[in-house]
């Protein structure tokens, strides 16, 4: 993140903190695509995604004054989203996920050409913490230090979570590397 | 000449996911790459991670992002602002009211008066439900007496006394030790008055009165 964009973010958030609805609308439109993508990959139900996204942005509206700029604004907003997503994932695991999680891990691993459902099932087999670190690294492109700030945990914890997630995904999706090579050949 | 310290394998392999998402700082990135050049495991792992990332990204194609719809969030913010304004109005009203010390004194005085008034009136109101010893209670037909006996009067002596006077206990003793005595139906009011006089003079009778006092002819 450049200093200029950081300064712009701070200025925008300062206006939101002063109750500027126009600035909030600008901020919402700026973050809605990223937050929606992030939440949508973690939560299967689009309606829940929109509700959680609005929960996140309501906290941003209420707490904008409290932001001190110790981290980038995106890290702060994703930190709020992380906690809201965690709550939603846990409540889904409690009430709905037996269906998804019932997919046998061995059956996923045996699949020679995993499709979207199998990969989704493999990700569901990761713990919420591990899923989050995979999501934030591979899809949202955060550094380990940013992820530590987002998840409010030490950097070493982020690295350890990623290590376990990688090992689990390798067991669950051993065919992916082969599929990727085939795909590369097809597109060569 | 490369003066960078070689990164240990355990440290480097941990950082590979962030090497491939391009978020390592310049120095750290170079150090990991230096290590990977001389470590076949890290090179293989990097390739595997890239394949994993690409495959996962390819199959989990980003869901279509809907256009921002701020109706819900705007309604929630409106409600929040409304609540905050309501709270502020109350606070400012209280602050405004408390500006004058006379108002505070007035409120304090009123509260004190209400408290004192309640304390004074409350027991009176509660005690208003007492009954007098001569209260009629629908017994005023000339045949009833209310009597309080001395505590030293035994049951046996009471029985003898009542038999002598032709009286029977129909109620009591009440909380205050009052008995209601009835004369025999055939007994005239005059005879009852004789029994009453006898009771009034008896040393074990503390109080005796006809129920219809004032109502009888
Ligand atoms: Zn290595």
Q: What is the CATH number of the domain that holds A171?
A: 1.10.10.10
DSSP string across B128-159: TT---TT--TT--SS-EEEEEE-TT--HHHHH
Query: Distance between CA B62 and CA B52 in Å, rounded?
Result: 16
Identify the residue with better confidence: A14 or B160.
A14
* Alpha carbon A172 to its chain's center: 20
Tell me the two tokens of residue A175.
């065919």
Its ipTM equals 0.79
Distance between A176 CA and the closest CA of chain B, angstroms: 6
Same domain, A156 and A133: yes
Annotation: CATH topology of B142-213: Alpha-Beta Plaits (3.30.70)
Distance CA A149, CA A163 (A): 18
A118 shares its domain with A42: no
Per-residue pLDDT at B107 exceeds 90 = no
* Residue B131 to residues A95, B127, B175, B187, Cα–Cα distance (Å): 67, 10, 11, 28
> In angstroms, rounded to a whole number, what is the distance separating the alpha carbons of residues B206 and A38?
94
Tally: H helices and E strands in chain B: 7, 4
For A123-127, A132-136, A175-179, which range has the lowest pLDDT when averaged over its residues?
Answer: A175-179
Name the residues around ion ligand 1, CB cutoff 5 A. Answer: B 9, 12, 39, 41-42
How confident is the model over B111-166, as pLDDT tens digits? 888 888 888 776 554 444 444 554 545 565 677 888 898 887 767 667 767 777 78
Q: Are both A84 and A135 inside the same structural domain?
A: no
Select the residue from B7, B10, B21 to test the A interface by mutation, using most A Cβ atoms within 10 A: B21
Domain C-terminal end among A96, A114, A137: A96
End-to-end CA distance of chain B: 137
Q: How far apart are CA B18 and CA A134, in angstroms?
A: 11
- One domain, residues A80 and A140: no
Map residue B180 onto helix, strand or coil: strand
The CA distance from B89 to A89, in Å, is 40
How far apart are the CA of B4 and the nearest CA of chain A, in angstroms?
A: 22
Determine the 3-state secondary structure of A51 from DSSP: helix
- The side-by-side arrangement of strands in the sheet containing B167-171 is B167-171, B178-183, B144-149, B205-210
User: How crowded is the C-beta side of B197, counted as CA atoms within 13 Å?
Assistant: 6
> Which structural domain range is residue A135 located in?
100-188
Residue B215, pLDDT > 50, answer no
């Amino acid at each position: 993140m450049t200093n200029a964009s950081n300064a712009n973010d701070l200025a925008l958030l300062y206006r939101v903190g002063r109750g500027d609805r126009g600035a909030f609308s600008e901020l919402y439109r700026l973050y809605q695509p990223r937050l929606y993508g992030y939440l949508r990959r973690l939560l299967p139900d689009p309606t829940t995604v929109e509700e959680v996204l609005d929960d996140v942005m309501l906290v941003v509206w209420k707490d904008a004054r409290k932001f001190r700029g110790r981290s980038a604004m995106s890290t702060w907003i994703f930190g709020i989203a992380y906690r809201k997503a965690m709550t939603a994932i846990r409540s889904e695991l409690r009430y709905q996920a037996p269906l998804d999680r019932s997919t046998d891990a061995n059956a996923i691993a045996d699949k020679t050409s995993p499709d979207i459902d199998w990969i989704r099932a493999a990700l569901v087999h990761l713990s919420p913490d591990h899923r989050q670190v995979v999501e934030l690294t591979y899809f949202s492109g955060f550094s380990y230090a940013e992820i530590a700030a987002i998840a409010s945990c030490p950097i070493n914890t982020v690295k350890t979570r990623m290590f376990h997630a990688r090992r689990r995904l390798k067991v669950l999706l051993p065919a992916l590397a082969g599929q990727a090579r085939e795909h590369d050949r097809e597109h060569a | 000449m490369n003066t960078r310290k070689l990164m240990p394998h355990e440290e480097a392999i941990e950082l590979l996911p962030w090497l491939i998402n391009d978020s390592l700082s310049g120095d750290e990135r170079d150090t990991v790459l230096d290590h990977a050049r001389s470590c076949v495991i890290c090179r293989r792992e990097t390739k595997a991670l890239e394949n994993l990332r690409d495959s996962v990204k390819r199959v989990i194609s980003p869901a279509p992002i809907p256009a921002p719809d701020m109706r819900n969030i705007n309604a929630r913010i409106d409600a929040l602002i409304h609540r905050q304004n309501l709270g502020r109005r109350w606070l400012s009203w209280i602050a405004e009211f408390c500006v004058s010390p006379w108002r505070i004194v007035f409120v304090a005085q009123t509260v004190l008066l209400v408290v004192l008034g309640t304390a004074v009136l409350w027991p009176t109101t509660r005690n208003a439900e007492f009954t007098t010893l001569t209260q009629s209670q629908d017994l005023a037909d000339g045949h009833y007496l209310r009597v309080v006996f001395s505590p030293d009067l035994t049951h046996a002596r009471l029985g003898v006394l009542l038999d002598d006077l032709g009286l029977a206990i129909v109620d009591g003793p009440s909380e205050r030790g009052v008995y209601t005595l009835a004369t025999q139906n055939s007994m005239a009011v005059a005879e009852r008055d004789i029994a009453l006089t006898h009771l009034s003079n008896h040393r074990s009778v503390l109080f005796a009165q006809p129920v219809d006092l004032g109502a009888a002819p």
